């Protein structure tokens, strides 16, 4: 579980991160990242739509994404905002495949966002 200080909550934050941030796509996820100069802890939000599957599948995918990102939260720079959007493949992907996709996409999106 992510602490409250690391959760992206406002819809404006989701929208600005997706529109102005750098994106990296893998088979099961798209990660949007935006790095700012604000002295705040990194914040992360998740989007898991109905295309993923039923409620049980969506909640399983959301829990896996949260756990994976929580393990890599210390690697995110302060002031960064990240949105992890699950693709339909996420409902069928194995745990290992999803973890690998999130790791690679997260690293790539952060590198792109820093270079902007």
What ranges do the domains of the chain cover? 4-114
Q: 93-115 pLDDT, tens per residue?
A: 999 999 999 999 999 999 999 98
Q: pLDDT tens-digit profile of 9-52?
A: 999 999 999 999 999 999 999 999 999 888 999 999 999 999 99
Q: 4-114: what CATH class?
A: alpha beta
Mean pLDDT (the chain, rounded): 94
- Measured over the CA atoms of residue 90, residue 93, residue 94 and residue 100, the dihedral's sign is negative
φ, ψ of residue 3 in degrees (nearest 5): -65, 155
């Amino acid at each position: 579980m992510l602490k409250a200080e690391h959760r992206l909550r406002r819809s404006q934050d989701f929208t600005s991160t997706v529109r102005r941030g750098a994106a990296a796509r893998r088979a099961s996820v798209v990660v949007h990242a935006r790095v700012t100069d604000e002295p705040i802890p990194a914040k992360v939000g998740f989007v898991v739509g109905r295309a993923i599957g039923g409620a049980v599948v969506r909640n399983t995918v959301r829990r896996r994404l949260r756990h994976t990102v929580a393990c890599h939260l210390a690697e995110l720079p302060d002031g960064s905002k990240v949105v992890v959007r699950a693709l339909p493949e996420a409902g069928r992907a194995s745990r290992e495949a999803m973890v690998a996709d999130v790791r690679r996409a997260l690293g790539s999106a952060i590198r792109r966002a820093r270079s902007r």
